[in-house]
Every structure is written in structure tokens, then in C-alpha cells.
Chains A and B, each alone.
Chain A
Amino acid sequence: MSETQRTLTQNPLEKTWVPWMKSRLSQRRGSSVPQFTNSPTMIVMVGLPARGKTYISKKLTRYLNWIGVTTKVFNVGQYRRDATRSYNSFEFFRPDNAEAMKIRKACALTALKDVWDYFTREEGQVVVFDATNTTAERREVILNFAKENGYKVFFVESICDDPEIIAENIKQVKLSSPDYMNCDKEEAVADFLKRIDCYKLTYVPLDDNKDRNLSYIKIFNVGSRYLVNRVQDHIQSRIVYYLMNIHVTPRSIYLCRHGESELNLLGRIGGDSGLSARGAQFASALGAYMREQSIRDLKVWTSHMKRTIQTAEALGVQYEQWKALNEIDAGVCEEMTYEEIQKSHPEEFALRDQNKYRYRYPKGESYEDLVQRLEPVIMELERQENVLVICHQAVMRCLLAYFLDKSADELPYLKCPLHTVLKLTPVAYGCKVESVFLNIEAVNTHRERPENVDVDRDPAEALETVPDHI
């Protein structure tokens, strides 16, 4: 045991303290958030067609990636479409169609091979294996594969017998599938229902007794009931929590920033200033717009900062203040202009341009920190229905990235201008976005990434993309 303590040095980008020497410890991705996944995890979907497996797969993947767990979906249906030239009819799925069975099995195995690649070569942490996996035999294949490779397995089974939900599912996502490109609606629906029947013949749900040693969650009827068995670790616990909070009730989420603030006008970041005259105008316009939207039971959320609260006040309705919605803490750079930051902290300014997502202000935060802080907001947004979130530029970028599945690289450069409301409405597997500018002029606060991000660049190069201000 070495007696000398290793010197700590502070990583200039994330401001995390790491031991100077290369070691097992510092090989970890110098993470500024705790990493809870040691072994890779396979989430395996189970269920008849049109039970929401792909919906859950995509949503879960989006959430896990957003919180920093590298995740990827492998949809076996996609493999099947790539393998067979064109889809003819439900007959392909008949359990006595030996030729087709061979193809389908081969597709599953190819997908598993790609899973292996993803875990081994791309260092993925979680895989969502999206297929019906309705037979014990198929699940056995997957379990063996996972066992051989040291992956954990967590099953997510969706059980639904409500014909209306299934009909709606088919309408929303099956009719537009490549499989049914050249069919009319009734044909497609009829064919798809027969397809489901093919699976029903051999469907064996996860059994409370036989499968009692497996880790799984069974979701009944879109979430009215859940059965959870043997949650093994942190990530499975988070997944269960997430799945138990999402719903499919139609609703809209409105995201906007506070009205233009005094510091905005001066080109200064952070701080806790009040609204400018135009900002106050925006607040009224926002009130008018929301009234027009005629939303039943709208929740309004703000941060703890004066400018968002002033904005909400103009709506004349109850609102909730969340500290977690506060703007990113710029630490020593609070209330500075970009010009001042360039002058006093040119190296910091350059580092930020090099990796805006992971860059942490000295004594402040990074976008990565913001995402962690915003996770409870996202969780509650998932639980809620109609919500208006009045927040800040960096915060709004993080929230938007979650809904629109933007990567860590894109996130810090998403455009969230003042006086513009984004209306997000979940549809099919994604999110419809309507951008509504409320016609009150405001200063631009969006700074694009400059061409030259080197520490030794000229001040002029650094300040090239700074938007105008007083």
C-alpha cells in the first residue's frame, strides 16, 4: 500500500478533481455524475404486436441517453424488413410457415450479434431489444446469450386486452409502417389483426412461478397495474420508476423563456434581474396566447428567479416555483458579458467552445450538471398533463433535448430565442413541435460556436459570434 498520496489535479474542462497518475480510477470517464452501470444491461421487450413495445423502447432509450446512460434500441422488425424484400401479408407470421420462421430466427440472431458489437466495441451501457419475444424458447435464447457475455437482463412485458387501445395503436403507428405502404386502411387493419392472431397461438407471458428468478416488469393496460419482480440494481430501479410514471393521455407541454430581462439587453449572462419593458409586454402576450389555447387544467411552472416569476405573474393563474429550473450557474462569470469573459478568462472561454456540454464554469455548473438537476422536472412532466414551463435558455435547451432526442453535442446549441413559445405534443413515436413567436421584439442571446476554439485564438475570433447588445 503506497504511503504517498497522489496529487490531485483539477480537470480544466469539467473542474473535477482527479489523481494525477494514470490509474484504474482515472480511467473512468472522468465522470461528473455517478456511474451506476458496471455490467451492460439488456432490456428485453415482451408482448403481442400493438402493445406499445416500440413506443416504450424508444421513449426509454431517449430518457436513458438524456440522463447520460448510453443506450440503443435494436428493433428486430427492422432487421426483418431489411432481410425480406417486401412484406406480402400476415401469412409470413404464421407459426407453420417454416421458411419465414427461419428468416425471423436469423434476424433475431443478427440483432443479438449487433447487440454484442454495441456493448463491446461501442461501449454502450444499455440495449433495448425490441421484439415480441413471446415464447419461453426465444427468451431462453436471449438469456443464454446474455449469460455467456455477462450481460444483465431485464424484461419489460406489455399486456393489454383493451380492443380500443389496440385499435388506436394500429392507427397511430402501424398504418404508416413500411409494411403497409401500398394498402388501404381497412386492408391494413385486417391484415394486422390476423398478424396478432398468429402470435397469440404461441404466446406465453412471463410466468409468476416459472419465471420467478427473472428480473422483469409487467405493464398491464397502459399502466393501470404493474408487477415488478427482482429488481437487481440502480439502473433497473430507475427504469421501473420511469416506466411507472409515463402515460399516453394526450396533452401538450409548452416551453418558453422568461420575457426579455434587463441583463439580457446588456448582453450579460446569469444574474437575477427583472423584465425589461418588452419583456413585460411578452408576459401579457403570453397570457393572451395561453388563454387562446383554452387549456383545461394547465399547470404553470417557473424557476426561483425574478424574471420567470414576473412573467408568470402576468398570466394571473397559480404557478409553482422550482429551484431546479434556475438558469445554469455561471459561477465566477455570473453577470459578465462575453467580451468581459474573453478578457478575464480567455482560456475558460475557449474550453467552453471546445466542449460546451461538459464545460463547467469555475464555481459554477455545466450543461451536464443541469441535466442531472432537471431530471426530477422531466419525471414530473411525464406524470403531468398540460404544463407551461417558463424557464431559461440553457434550461430550456436541456428540456427540449429530452423531448426531441437531441445529442449532448447538439443540446447546448439548440435555438431557444426569447419571446417564442414551443408547443410540444407527443405523437406516434415522437413529438410534434410548434414554434410560436409572440411578436414582441427581443434581443438575441444565442451565441453560435465560433470557428476557432483554440486557446491561442485572437479575441476577435472568440467574439465573432457574440450577438448584439447594448
Chain B
Amino acid sequence: MKHRSPSDQHHGKRPRVPIPTAAASFSPQDGMEDKPPTNPRELTQNPLKKIWMPCKNGLPEKHISQRKVCMTNCPTLIVTVGLPARGKTYISKKLTRYLNWIGVPTREFNVGQYRREFVKIYKSFEFFRPDNEEGLKIRRQCASAALNDVRQYLTEDGGQVAVFDATNTTRERRHTIIQFAEQNGFKVFFVESVCEDPDVIQENIVQVKLGSPDYTNCNTEEAVEDFMKRIKCYENSYETLDEVLDRDLSYIKIMDVGQRYLVNRVLDHIQSRIVYYLMNIHITPRSIYLCRHGESELNVKGRIGGDSGLTARGKEFAKKLNQFIQAQNISDLKVWTSQMKRTIQTAEALNVPYEQWKVLNEIDAGVCEEMMYEEIQDHYPLEFALRDQDKYRYRYPKGESYEDLVQRLEPVIMELERQENVLVICHQAVMRCLLAYFLDKTAEELPYLKCPLHTVLKLTPVAYGCKVESICLNVDAVNTHREKPENVEVSRMSEEALLTVPAHQ
């Protein structure tokens, strides 16, 4: 059977003439054909992440493969394609946010931005006329400058994915990009957005174009009219990705805001994840409500983790939450909880069906479960210090790290993208992770995001980001937020370590 040869299909090379797959290949590639048996290296456990790694003379050797999302050997260049106002920048920003959140260093490069910095003042659509030589020259230069920065990011700055956000509507322009990628050893994946629905386009323009720096000094009608003419400039030379002519390229064509997708030659894991993500997002207006369970018995004692029930105040919060949700008058609200008693008790007060997710459970503090910070400092001062040094990556002994949490929460994020109105009743660390996704917070900021008890965060997607409303339901609760102390050294005094521990019983 002539299948696409393994090296062609799954390792990024463009499929050419399929090589018959031999039963046993003796080419000394990554195979194990001619590796002599070696003595197993000694292992040591990295104290921060609790990862076992090989060591030499007591020191860890490098090159340890952690299963993060994609062990891409080559960086990936995602290239958007489409007329103006088709959602390219929306997709670029959202995708970038998602990839960064799951741990894939990603950055977007918006050519329009380069143009604005170069041209300083936007006069009118005439700049984009296909017969405007001056304009064309500038636009080509901007694209080159952007690609240069892409190269820098992917080869020197540790980036794994770059999103090249521009119209890229001609085959010629795309060819230039493909050549650039080939020269540099990048894989290319095109994301084309095709849409002819005038209502959608109109809404796009209203949401994100009118507020653009290009139109700061125009009134609405002028801006819309100019923008429509701008689109027209591109229309004549627009060459959509073609099923036949572009059959060797890797791409997804999104049609009519996600009614239909055409997916061609997905080459690897990261492209597969990108396709899955793009096929799950939508732009139907909705709100996501995030909150923690009501105050719990262990909360008031200053103990972390565990599976305790609500205090009286916690129950009060649950009632107030019910009132709040009723007042919001939300159509078809889904309610999700973890499998821990305190979130479920909170949801019970709402008297609606709710879905329990084990992956929404609070971070597992391993050997420190149900301890107070004072006790952790007492029994595990080294651990306590390491955690303050790198709270995102720090893994509790026999427990989890924030980094682990993000991996475990990814299906929740995916389903949140699919859903519309959802209330998620969860826990402090979990809520921080989810919030970081929606608000594009870094790994450094994430573990210190403020998620107090008895406060609901209402997130509403708007333009390219997310509007946040914080609603405190006015039921007192203990504070559980511990700031990073000044001294994070292992050698610090107990008092220094416990300086920022919030008050408790």
C-alpha cells in the first residue's frame, strides 16, 4: 500500500514522491540500530519541579525532554490570509494568547502595525490602491521588516511559534513567505478567513476598525466608507487558497466565521492543536463568570487544600451568589464545579443542574495538604523558599505545580471556548490559571493574581480582549492571598518567610 512515507507526512517535509516504507530501515538516524549499550546515568530530582533528570558528578545534565505541548524541532510560522475585516487579527491575538498559556512561546507580528509606525499618518484608502507604487513599496518593506523580526524571534529569542498577521492575499506574497520560511527552517501553516456575510463584516468594522489609530480623526460614516473602499483595493488581486494549486501547503480555511472549515495537510502536533482550537472558538456574545467556592472551614484556619465544607459565611455567600445569578437573567447558563465538597455546596444553593469536573479541583499540595503556611515553614523551609522563588514552576512534593494545573485545565478552557454563558465555581489557584488565560497574564503574574473569596469576576469578550467586572457579594471572608515576600532565599529567617501570610484563626 502506498502510504505517505513517514518522513514526509509526520516530520514537516513537504510530501514529494513517496518512498516505499521498508520493513527495517538500517539508516542510522534517530533509530537505535547502532547505539552501544551504555551504563544508565545517575538520576537526581530537580528540587523545584521535582523532575528526575540525569546527572553527572551530582550536577544535572542538560537536555531533558519534558512533555510540554509540542516538542517542535522546527519553529512554526502561522500566516494569516484574508481580506480586511475578516477577523485575522482577532484570530491571531486569540491564538497567540492560547499558545502562550499552554506553554508554547508565541508572538504575533502585525504588518499593519509596522505600516502605522512607518507612515505615521494615515490619510485614506488611496494608500492601498494597487496602482499606488509608493504605497506598495512601503508595504513590501513593512512586510520584510516584520519577517526579519520573526526570524529574530524564532531563531534567537526562544520563540516557538510566530503569527504573521497580514492580508497575504496574493499567491506571490505567500510564495515570498514560504521561501523565507524554507531558508530558515520554519514550518508554515496558513490560516485563511473567508467571509462574505455583510452583517459580519459590518460588525467587525464597528468593533475594531472605528477605534483604530487610522481613524482617530474621522466620524463613523467617513471611517466606514473609507474602510469599505480599502477592502475593495484588495479584492481584485485576492487569490484565495486553492484546493488544487495549493494542495501541497498546510492550511485551514475558515469560512463564514466557523460554519465550515477546510483543513489541508496538518503536519504535526502543534498544527493539529491549532486546528482543534480554531474549530472550537466562536464569536457569539456571552459572558463567563468565575468565582471561588464560599469560605471553607479550612480557609478560616489558614490551612491549604483539603476537602472541607463551607462555613456559615460561605453558605451566606452561596445564597448571595444565587441571588446575583438570578438578577443577571442569563439565558441557558451552564454551571461547573470541581469535585470538592466546597464548590459543590456552593453550587447546590443555585438550585440548577451543574457539572462536576475533577480537573477543576484545587492544586494538589502533596505533603503540604491541610497545613498552615506556618507549619510548612516549620517542616519544609526549603520547599517554602523554593516556592517563593518560582511559584509557577514549583511543584509540591507528591503534589502539583501551577504549570501542571495549566496542563490539566486545558480541556476546561477548550470547552469554555465552545460554550456560551458559563459560571465556573472553583478554587484560588485554579481560578488564577483560568483568569490568566482570559486576561493574557504571564507565568510570572499568574500565581499572584488576586482572586479573593466571595467575589465574582464577570468576563465578557469585547473587541480583541476581555472586559472584566469584579463583583464583591458583600459577605465577609478571610483573606487567602499571600504576596511574594521580599526575601526568598533559602537562608532567610522564619519571620521573613511568614511576613506576607494573611491573618487566620
- A residues near B (Cβ < 8 Å) are 1-2, 5-6, 8, 10, 15-17, 19, 24-25, 31-36, 162, 164-165, 167-168, 172, 208, 212, 222, 224-231, 233-234, 237, 240-241, 244-245, 247-251, 274, 280, 283-284, 287-288, 290-291, 293-298, 301, 304-306, 309-310, 313-324, 334, 363, 369, 372, 380, 383-385
For chain B, the count of residues having a C-beta within 8 Å of the partner chain is 81
Let me know if A244 and B266 touch, CB within 8 A. yes
Q: Does B505 contact A (CB under 8 A)?
A: no
Give the docked Cα–Cα distance between A290 and B407 (Å): 31
Q: For B54, give its contact among A224, A304, A313 (CB under 8 Å).
A: A313
Say yes or no: A24-B276 contact (C-beta < 8 A), given A229-B260, A295-B32: no
Q: For B356, give its contact among A32, A225, A301 (CB under 8 Å).
A: A32
Q: For A383, give its contact among B25, B243, B272 (CB under 8 Å).
A: B272
Q: For A310, give its contact among B43, B66, B280, B369 (CB under 8 Å).
A: B43
Let me know if B25 and A321 touch, CB within 8 A. no
Q: Does B348 contact A (CB under 8 A)?
A: yes
Say yes or no: A32-B263 contact (C-beta < 8 A), given A234-B415, A298-B32: no
- Chain B residue nearest to A317 (CB atoms) is B32
Q: Which residues of A contact B247 (CB under 8 A)?
A: 224-225
Give the docked Cα–Cα distance between A369 and B261 (Å): 33
Let me know if A383 and B348 touch, CB within 8 A. no
Say yes or no: A17-B344 contact (C-beta < 8 A), given A283-B40, A298-B30, A304-B51: yes
Interface centre among B6, B50, B415 (most CB of A within 10 A): B6
Let me know if B1 and A168 touch, CB within 8 A. yes
Give the docked Cα–Cα distance between A347 and B307 (Å): 20
Let me know if A295 and B31 touch, CB within 8 A. yes
Q: Which residues of A contact B351 (CB under 8 A)?
A: 1-2
Q: Which residues of B contact A314 (CB under 8 A)?
A: 37-38, 40
- Chain A residue nearest to B259 (CB atoms) is A230
Q: Does B418 contact A (CB under 8 A)?
A: yes
Let me know if B272 and A323 touch, CB within 8 A. no
Between A and B, 15 residue pairs with Cβ closer than 8 Å are A10-B341, A32-B339, A168-B1, A224-B4, A237-B280, A247-B3, A249-B4, A249-B6, A283-B40, A294-B32, A296-B29, A313-B43, A316-B36, A318-B30, A383-B268
Q: How far is the CB of B378 from chain A (nearest CB, A)?
A: 22
Q: Which residues of A contact B371 (CB under 8 A)?
A: none
Q: How far is the CB of A358 from chain B (nearest CB, A)?
A: 13
Q: Which residues of A contact B43 (CB under 8 A)?
A: 274, 306, 309-310, 313
Q: Does B489 contact A (CB under 8 A)?
A: no
Which residues of chain B (4-29) have a CB below 8 Å from chain A? 4, 6-7, 9-11, 21, 24-27, 29
Let me know if B356 and A248 touch, CB within 8 A. no
Q: How far is the CB of B320 from chain A (nearest CB, A)?
A: 13
Give the docked Cα–Cα distance between A309 and B51 (Å): 10
Q: How far is the CB of B331 from chain A (nearest CB, A)?
A: 17
- Chain A residue nearest to B15 (CB atoms) is A224
Say yes or no: A229-B259 contact (C-beta < 8 A), given A25-B353, A32-B339, A383-B269: yes
Give the docked Cα–Cα distance between A224 and B369 (Å): 49
Q: Which residues of A contact B348 (CB under 8 A)?
A: 5-6, 8, 19
Give the docked Cα–Cα distance between A251 and B356 (Å): 38
Let me know if B37 and A297 touch, CB within 8 A. no
Let me know if B260 and A24 touch, CB within 8 A. no
Let me know if B30 and A297 touch, CB within 8 A. yes
- Chain B residue nearest to A226 (CB atoms) is B263
Q: Which residues of A contact B56 (CB under 8 A)?
A: none
Q: For A32, give its contact among B63, B266, B315, B358 (CB under 8 Å).
A: B358
Let me know if A248 and B263 touch, CB within 8 A. no
Let me know if B65 and A319 touch, CB within 8 A. yes
Which residues of chain B (254-302) have a CB below 8 Å from chain A? 259-266, 268-269, 272, 275-276, 279-280
Let me know if A237 and B262 touch, CB within 8 A. no
Known A-B contacts: A228-B279, A249-B6. Give 17 more (CB < 8 A): A17-B340, A17-B345, A172-B1, A225-B243, A225-B264, A228-B260, A231-B279, A274-B43, A280-B40, A296-B27, A304-B50, A318-B65, A322-B67, A323-B407, A372-B358, A383-B268, A383-B272
Q: For A323, give its contact among B31, B341, B398, B404 (CB under 8 Å).
A: B404
Q: For A225, give its contact among B35, B51, B263, B404 (CB under 8 Å).
A: B263
Q: Which residues of B contact A230 (CB under 8 A)?
A: 259-260
Say yes or no: A316-B38 contact (C-beta < 8 A), given A34-B356, A227-B260, A234-B418: yes
- Chain A residue nearest to B306 (CB atoms) is A363
- Chain A residue nearest to B67 (CB atoms) is A322
Q: How far is the CB of B129 from chain A (nearest CB, A)?
A: 34
Q: For B31, give its contact among A31, A237, A296 (CB under 8 Å).
A: A296
Q: How far is the CB of A398 from chain B (nearest CB, A)?
A: 16
Q: Which residues of B contact A306 (CB under 8 A)?
A: 43, 45, 52
Q: Does B157 contact A (CB under 8 A)?
A: no
Q: Does B476 contact A (CB under 8 A)?
A: no
Let me know if B358 and A321 touch, CB within 8 A. no
Let me know if A165 and B2 touch, CB within 8 A. yes
Let me know if B31 and A297 touch, CB within 8 A. yes
- Chain A residue nearest to B315 (CB atoms) is A5
Q: Does B64 contact A (CB under 8 A)?
A: yes
Q: Does B472 contact A (CB under 8 A)?
A: no
Let me know if A249 and B3 touch, CB within 8 A. yes
Q: How far is the CB of B289 from chain A (nearest CB, A)?
A: 18
Q: Which residues of B contact A287 (CB under 8 A)?
A: 32, 35, 37
What are the interface flags for B42-86 relative to A under an 8 Å C-beta threshold, 1 for contact and 0 otherwise?
A: 010100001110100000000111110001000000000000000
Q: Which residues of A contact B260 (CB under 8 A)?
A: 208, 212, 227-230
Q: For A165, give its contact among B1, B65, B276, B353 (CB under 8 Å).
A: B1
- The list of the 7 closest CB pairs from A to B, nearest first, reads A168-B1, A322-B67, A296-B25, A313-B40, A320-B65, A316-B38, A226-B263
Give the docked Cα–Cα distance between A230 and B256 (Å): 10
Q: Which residues of A contact B1 (CB under 8 A)?
A: 164-165, 167-168, 172, 248
Q: How far is the CB of A103 from chain B (nearest CB, A)?
A: 33
- Chain B residue nearest to A311 (CB atoms) is B40
